[in-house]
Amino acid sequence: MNRVEISCDKNALPVDRAWLRRAARQVLRALGYSDAELSVYICDEEKMRALNLEWRGKDRVTDVLSFSQHEGEAVDLQDSCLGDVVICSARAQEQAKSAGVYFYDEILTLLIHGAVHLAGFDHEKGRTEAKRMREMESKVKQEVEALLAGQA
């Protein structure tokens, strides 16, 4: 069974942990994992800016970061700890409002984006990879939305 650890920064906009755990498990399932681990951390803008500066050298707030526990491209990720997805809830709220979608829709989009990165996709490796990643994100989102709707 896929395992998900949820952590929330006390200064971050609150996110329903039970919903987030269900969503993350469904994302892992849609990506083909049956016994993997994922950590999801919801943080505020200050923490996200610090992480983005420390790990990517970019002194600005971003919406999502992912930190893989594996190096290389040909890693068998089944039965393993994939890594961490960090989401800035304030940035998610801003983006949701701007796009005219619900806050949890944006949280799900960011969660999927981070998890797809952990599954080995990288939109920063050129057009072909970016297209492959967008297609995977779309496929996963459709599956997860259907699965979550069935649990409601």
- pLDDT, residue 91, reads 97
Q: Which two tokens stand for residue 29?
A: 């399932």
For 43: left if phi > 0, alpha if psi spans -120 to 50, otherwise beta; the answer is beta
Domain range enclosing 18:
3-151
Q: Which two tokens stand for residue 84?
A: 């961490």
- pLDDT, residue 96, reads 98
Strand partners, 74: none
Which domain CATH number covers 73?
3.40.390.30
d(CA 23, CA 37): 14
Task: Please compute, for residue 21, the number of CA atoms within 13 A of its CA located in the half-sphere on the CB side.
Answer: 11
* Whether residue 75 has pLDDT greater than 80: no
Rg (C-alpha) for the chain, rounded Å, is 15
Report the pLDDT averaged over residues 127-146.
92
Q: Which two tokens stand for residue 36?
A: 């993997």
- The model's confidence at residue 101, banded by pLDDT at 50, 70 and 90, is very high
Q: How many domains does the chain have?
A: 1
d(CA 151, CA 29): 14
